[in-house]
Amino acid sequence: MGVLRTVANFVFGMECLGCGTSSERLDPWLCPACAAELKRESLSPSFPNDDAFCLFPMRPLTRRLVHALKYRNIPGLASYLVRHSSAVKRGAVGQELSMLAQPLYFVPVPLHRARYRERGYNQAALLAAALATATGGRACRWLKRKTFVVSQTKLSKEERELNVAGAFVADFPHKMPARGSVVVVDDVFTTGATTSACLAAFGANFPLPLKVCTLIYDEPASAAADFAADCRADWDAFRRIRNY
């Protein structure tokens, strides 16, 4: 652990990803105060509908962390956030998942090839793998993306639905399991348009129960602010690459 902490401090400048202050007590991502705040936020999971679970609310801290996961090339944050969420340790989401038909098959929302080339990884796939590890389930890539869609954050609910309609298709293995539950995994739930399009790709006659689990629940009213933050994050990432 001492070696990992030393490496993390060297790579990230001993800077807390939550508040930006320098600290030698990172865990390795957050200072003690921000780690305590994240623990408090983990006690407030959201359930936007009967079939959706969201591990954290969108708050300044969680917003910074999900942006770091997506734009600062810190894939390790996916497992970190899942481990500190209510999906584990008999938390509220963990209890909901335990009541589903077992085993659990976590299916990430696929990332378009162009976006994957930019980022180098699919954060939803990392979250699905972390959830599978935490619950004893399996991560399964049973969906493919057909089309490239524009950013959802500034679109209305109706525009979001049109933006992702037909964007996903099923890519099932030759022999599908006869029991268990499928959980579609994404990073952010706002209106549910993306995950609903994924669920539709399974078809009306899919035999297993279908659920959704996302890292963050973002109320639609805050979408404009998130769009601006995403634009800033994209621009900052571009400048870092250009100056490398």
The two tokens of residue 92 are: 């509220």
Contact 116, 81 (CB under 8 A): no
Q: How confident is the model at residue 85 (pLDDT cuts 50, 70, 90)?
A: very high
pLDDT of the residue at 89: 72
Whether 83 and 5 map to the same domain: the answer is no
- How much is the average pLDDT of 154-166? 50
145 and 213 both lie in a single domain: yes
**Is residue 29 located within the same domain as residue 84?**
no
Q: What's the pTM value of the predicted model, to 2 decimals?
A: 0.80
Residue 15 dihedral angles phi and psi, to the nearest 5°: -110, 125
User: Are 30 and 57 in the same domain?
Assistant: no
Q: Are residues 4 and 56 in the same domain?
A: no
Answer yes or no: do 6 and 52 share one domain. Answer: no
Average pLDDT on 113-120 reads 85
What is the structure's pLDDT at 114?
A: 80
* φ and ψ of 184, to 5 deg: -80, 130
Residue 212 has pLDDT above 90, yes or no: yes
User: Which residues have C-beta within 8 Å of that of residue 242, sequence separation ≥ 6?
Assistant: none
Do 119 and 150 fall into the same domain?
Answer: yes
Q: Is the same domain home to 78 and 34?
A: no
Q: How many domains does one find in the chain?
A: 2
Give the DSSP letter string of 153-212: TTS-HHHHHHHHTT-EEE---SS--SSSEEEEEEEEESSSHHHHHHHHHT-TT--S-EEE
Q: Are residues 74 and 139 in the same domain?
A: yes
Its domain, for residue 105, covers 43-243
If asked whether residues 117 and 2 sit together in one domain, one would say no
CATH number at residue 73: 3.40.50
Residues near 26 by beta carbon (within 8 Å), at least 6 away in sequence: 5, 8, 9, 12, 14, 16
Residues 60 and 90 in one domain: yes
Same domain, 37 and 59: no
